Structure 1
Amino acid sequence: MIKSFHLFFLLLPFILFSQNQSQYPDTIIDSYNSTSKTRDKFYGGSKVPSKRIAVSLDSLFFKNDCFISLPQDSYIIVGFTDNYIIDAPQQNDIFIEEVGGAGEYADVFVSSDNLEYTFLGVAGDGSVNEFDLAKINYKKQVKYIKIIGKDNKGSSPGFDLGSVYGLPGANKYEEIIILENVLFQTNKSILLEQSFEPLNKLAQQLEINLSIKIEIRGHTDNKGTEAKNQSLSEERAKVVLNYLVSKGIATSRFSHKGFGSTQPIASNDTAEGREKNRRVEFIKTE
């Protein structure tokens, strides 16, 4: 689960590293409805009783009684930021529910980085579809799933997506904490002054919890070249590490990584989304 670092965590240290596991996606990376010609206006219905309604894409983030219709060439890309899916031995790994039974289908693709997608299979025809990553020899972590409608069948035209998630055994969890208000000069790895307060609080927390080790991760939006974004994300993660070390925390308690623009938590099509994607976060490694 992605969390933000706030002052109250200093008062309740155990909350900082609590785990609320989820099998469901928790962000929409991209979407398009070929009927409405928009990215956010989708129709679907309620499973019981069945009726056509406007449906929020956020309904995919939890168990519910709605479905989202994907007419031909419509698509949704869901992201998993608090969990990921692996090829678990001797079992299916990904669950996709199609509601209805009018012969609607969708192509399903998986990705670890939102750059390269691999075809997983075809879902549909009013059934529960379970997929085994072993069948396509996919060994990477699945962080993104893309579902593309193949037809316009049914009373609510297209593939009726009820839910998508990682199955028990294949669904893995890691808690990610975003460092709020840790900001840098534009296109540079120089911390702005307002970043010092949240980093000082994190250093205090680490002084109290001496056994904790963390990995610091840097991310960018998709503006600029892939190489530049990768380098910038690594530099910013390293700068945060060095700042914490300067506050007396042992270097051995840290590692750092840059991911460039490969792990967005929001759409890069809007300024608001790009701002969310430009972030520094950490996970507990020990």
Structure 2
Amino acid sequence: MIKPFHLFFLLFPFILFSQNQSQYPDVIIDSYNSSTKTKNSFYGGSKIPSKRIVVSLDSLFYKNDCFISLPKGSYVIVGFTDNYIIDAPNQNDIFIEEVGGAGEYADVFVSSDNVEYSFLGVAGNGSVNEFDLAKINYKKQVKYIKIIGKDNKGSSPGFDLGCVYGLPGANKYEEVVILENVLFQTNKSILLEESFTSLDKLVHQLQKNEALKIEIRGHTDNIGIEVKNQSLSEQRAKAVLNYLVSKGIDSNRFSYKGFGSTQPITSNDSDEGRKKNRRVEFLKTE
């Protein structure tokens, strides 16, 4: 049976919608290999000795036989865009696997905004590690996890990261919709004319679904000063709200927020990545 909000998406093809109900991360926010002084390139291998596989950071997005080695000072930051992790009562919340038995360790940090990180604990020693957010009294949503290698032990030197994800009961899922082709003048919150087609279709669907209320969210890339990015993202979200209201939709059906560059959905290391991160999206609030 299709829920009404899901039916809304099926009738609304000009927007991007994804909810894979996965407890795994789905984006690499940042990474650094201290051995090679590079990003996005790491040693590693297969958990099954006789099996040869291609080592990739994307392997952290799903269950597989691969591990990524993080030498001392190396790190990876993974992000969750379809879900977030909470402190579930009376249980552990985050799972991190370290492969092998060479006594390798890593520091683990969590964040809700990719700005302020809290130290969660130390993972390692060739074992499965489960962490309880209650141990550090962390009450915010975990949207980002940073793992930093602490040593160079082992045949593939460093902390061998097999997987990381939210444990059952600790995952919460959001239905976030990215609006396609909503564009603005450079460094301004003035909508370009080519945005009107998509926004007018949104108006039409809001007229047909009068009970629907949404939160409009603005995001930027990481170019420039973050204070200005934060302000610009808010202004752009408000500009979309104002456009919808100008078409006769009740303003009480909307709220808006700006997140600046703190919640990327892909790396900002390329023009294409920055273009994807400059976006407007919305979340159903009721």
Structure 1's unaligned 5+ residue stretches are 1-7
Residue 230 (structure 1) aligned with residue 230 (structure 2): yes
Q: Between Structure 1 and Structure 2, how many residues are aligned? A: 278
The CA RMSD over aligned residues, in Å, is: 2.0
Match of 1:43 in 2: 43
- Provide the identity percentage: 84
Corresponding residue for 1:113? 113
Letter in 2 for 1:239: A
Shift of 1:16: 7.9
| CA distance 1:197–1:98, shift in 2 (3 Å) | same
Deviation at 1:225, TM superposition (A): 2.2
Alignment of 1:178-217 (within 5 A): 178-217=178-217
Q: Select between 232-241 and 44-53 the one with higher mean Cα deviation.
A: 44-53
Letter in 2 for 1:85: I
Q: Which residue of 1 aligns with 2:250?
A: 250
* Alpha carbons of structure 1 residues 16 and 41: separation in structure 2 relative to 1, 3 Å: closer
Q: Structure 1 residue 51: deviation in Å?
A: 5.9
Letter in 1 for 2:259: F
Q: Distance in 1 between matches of 2:16 and 2:37?
A: 42
Tell me whether 199-208 or 173-182 shows the greater mean CA deviation.
199-208
Tell me the secondary structure at the aligned position of residue 42 of structure 1: coil
Q: Is the 8 A contact 2:16 2:179 kept in 1?
A: no
Alpha carbons 2:19, 2:82 under 8 Å: kept: no
SS at match of 2:43: strand
Decide whether aligned partners of structure 1 residues 39 and 52 sit closer, same or farther in structure 2, where only a CA change above 3 A counts: farther
Please say if residues 178 and 279 of structure 2, whose CA atoms lie closer than 8 Å, have aligned partners that are also in contact.
Answer: yes
Unaligned runs of 5+ in 2: 1-7
Normalising by structure 2, report the TM-score: 0.91
Partner residue in 2 for 1:99? 99
How far does residue 210 in structure 1 lie from its aligned partner after superposition? 2.1
Shift of 1:265: 1.5
Deviates more, 1:36-45 or 1:122-131: 36-45
User: Where do 1:1-286 residues align within 5 Å?
Assistant: 9=9, 11=11, 19-49=19-49, 54-286=54-286
TM-score (structure 1 length as normaliser): 0.91
- Cα displacement string for residues 141-191 of structure 1 (whole angstroms, at most 9, x for unaligned residues): 111110011111111111111110111121111021111110100110000
- Aligned counterpart, 2:5: none
Q: Is 1:218–1:279's contact at 8 Å kept on the other side of the alignment? A: yes
